[in-house]
Amino acid sequence: MNKEAVINQNGKEKAIILLSGGLDSCVTLAIAKDMGYEVYPVHINYNHLTMKRELTAYNDICNFYNIDENKRLIVDISYLSDIGGSALTDRNIKLETNSIPQSTDKLPSSYVPFRNANMISIAVSYAEVIKASKVFIGAVDEDSSGYPDCRKIFFERFNSLLEIALGDNYQVEILTPIIDNNKSEIVKLGMKLSAPLNLTWSCYQGEEESCGVCESCFLRLQGFSRAGETDPIKYAQK
Amino acid sequence: MNKEAVINQNGKEKAIILLSGGLDSCVTLAIAKDMGYEVYPVHINYNHLTMKRELTAYNDICNFYNIDENKRLIVDISYLSDIGGSALTDRNIKLETNSIPQSTDKLPSSYVPFRNANMISIAVSYAEVIKASKVFIGAVDEDSSGYPDCRKIFFERFNSLLEIALGDNYQVEILTPIIDNNKSEIVKLGMKLSAPLNLTWSCYQGEEESCGVCESCFLRLQGFSRAGETDPIKYAQK
């Protein structure tokens, strides 16, 4: 199968970026731009606790990079909230705080069942229509919450699916440029690329101020600390 | 990884059924019930031309089988229509009529980019929360419109992804019981299982009467004819 021409008039290949508005996805966008791609950021709302704040972060980051409105795509999949099963979408399920899971047998309550497959499928549908050659996702394997759909093998198998799943001589590949990095490396990379880390949002439960204690804040603060940097956003407590 | 217990109090395993309301998905539901599964039918609306009529068919079929309201799930993914690229969601793209595609190089205009991956991902998220062991989809490989996401290899690769994608000792598998059947065999199987074929809807463009000329009507009518049966639904023309 020959790849269809996906080079734009400006000589750049198109890439979809899954951009939640968090630290990892912001740095991933910065990497894609640094690699020379014309970026199409996709934001996915699944009626999660901090969806309004994350949407603001998404738009702030897109504005920072002067990304045209018609290249942005905001998608609602609140059905994930209807289906439930996660502390991120069900206010009756408690979030872990001040820790990250240590066991691979027990997933954290923040796990959203098969979420990344839903998100990547959307990104690939969009990619196929605009003939983007890459889908970037800021998944992190090692220094993460242990979600099964953030592991390297997950993306390898998804790419194996993509090799045969699409039509008409078209191919797309998922890229995970920070999957092997730890949080402090991601912070350093973001600063090196002048990514607007001050505009990002990582907290799982706060929308006014970051709580500083949920597992996402915990990992982020630890990353800045280990990088010897100060996190530019405000916290209710650290 | 050991499979978690997924047997219900009534001794039945749970299965998600992707039920569009068409002939193929209705027969697939009948097969799942015949195999002894407790069925959870999922209907997915992507703002396609015949979405209202298909939703009616879905509910009619669920009512025929006395499936509890709380086991049904209706999901809106109209973002697929926003993304576009298909005659099923974009009224400016023309549907082929009175034929099925003969070439694998050119997809029919009814192809919806990566649609089945979006649908299966939703079904798997639902399956993981209710601990269903199977996801049934009525995809047909041979006697079909040649969509790449209806081929056997697509489901094999998706199952390979599922082997490593889910959490906490849980496994789910996609089953495609009619993938090797042609339409006349599917009609015969439906009649053998007393599936309510009179309640199904296959037409891609009509909602009052089936057009009789789109590729979906064409395949369906050919199937009934070759099975030596009369299609119980009405057509504007044949």
pLDDT in tens, B208-235: 899 999 888 999 999 999 999 999 999 9
Give pLDDT, residue B89: 80
pLDDT in tens, A98-141: 666 555 567 888 888 899 999 999 999 999 999 999 999 999 98
* Alpha-carbon A30 to chain mean position: 12
Q: Pick from B47, B114, B128, B129 the residue to mutate for testing the A interface (most A CBs within 10 Å).
A: B114
- Which residue is associated with the tokens 């995809």? B139
Decide: residue B160, CB within 10 A, 0-12 exposed, 13-18 middle, 19+ buried.
middle
Lowest mean pLDDT among A208-217, B44-53, B91-100, B108-117: B91-100
CB of B22 within 8 A of CB of B201? yes
> What are B's interface residues with A at a Cβ cutoff of 8 A?
73, 75-77, 79-80, 82-85, 105-107, 111-115, 117-118, 121-122, 124-126, 128-129, 147-149, 151, 153-154, 157-158, 160-161, 163-169
Q: What is the ipTM of this complex?
A: 0.89
Q: What are phi and psi of B40, to 5 degrees?
A: -120, 95
pLDDT in tens, A30-88: 999 999 999 999 999 988 888 999 999 999 999 999 999 999 999 999 998 888 888 88
Give pLDDT, residue A159: 98
Alpha-carbon distances of A124 from A12, A133, B83, B93, rounded to whole Å:
19, 10, 10, 21
Lowest mean pLDDT among A227-231, B66-70, B89-93: B89-93
B168: pLDDT strictly greater than 90: no
Question: CB distance A165–B83 less than 8 Å?
Answer: no
CB of B18 within 8 A of CB of B137? yes
CB of A206 within 8 A of CB of A200? no
Question: Which domains, from first to last, does chain B contain?
Answer: 14-226 (3.40.50.620)
DSSP code per residue over B191-212:
HHTT--GGG----SS-SSSB-S
DSSP secondary structure code for residue A136 in this structure: E
Within 10 angstroms of residue B8's Cβ, the number of other Cβ atoms is: 12
The rounded mean pLDDT for chain B is 89
Query: Shortest Cα distance from B154 to chain A (angstroms)?
Result: 6
Count of pairs with CB atoms under 8 A, one residue in A, one in B: 131
Give pLDDT, residue A105: 61
Alpha-carbon distances of A223 from A26, A49, A183, rounded to whole Å:
15, 23, 4
Give pLDDT, residue A144: 65
CA dihedral A91, A94, A100, A101 (to 10 degrees): -110
pLDDT in tens, A176-228: 999 999 999 999 999 999 999 999 999 988 888 999 998 889 999 999 999 99
Give pLDDT, residue A4: 40
Query: Shortest Cα distance from A126 to chain B (angstroms)?
Result: 6
Query: Shortest Cα distance from A105 to chain B (angstroms)?
Result: 5
Question: CB distance B122–A79 less than 8 Å?
Answer: yes
Question: CB distance B167–A158 less than 8 Å?
Answer: no
> What are A's interface residues with B at a Cβ cutoff of 8 A?
73, 75-77, 79-80, 82-85, 105-107, 111-115, 117-118, 121-122, 124-126, 128-129, 147-149, 151, 153-154, 157-158, 160-161, 163-169
What confidence tier does B197 reach under pLDDT thresholds 50, 70, 90? Answer: very high
DSSP secondary structure code for residue A86 in this structure: S
User: How far is Cα A183 from Cα A216, in angstroms, rounded to an integer?
Assistant: 11
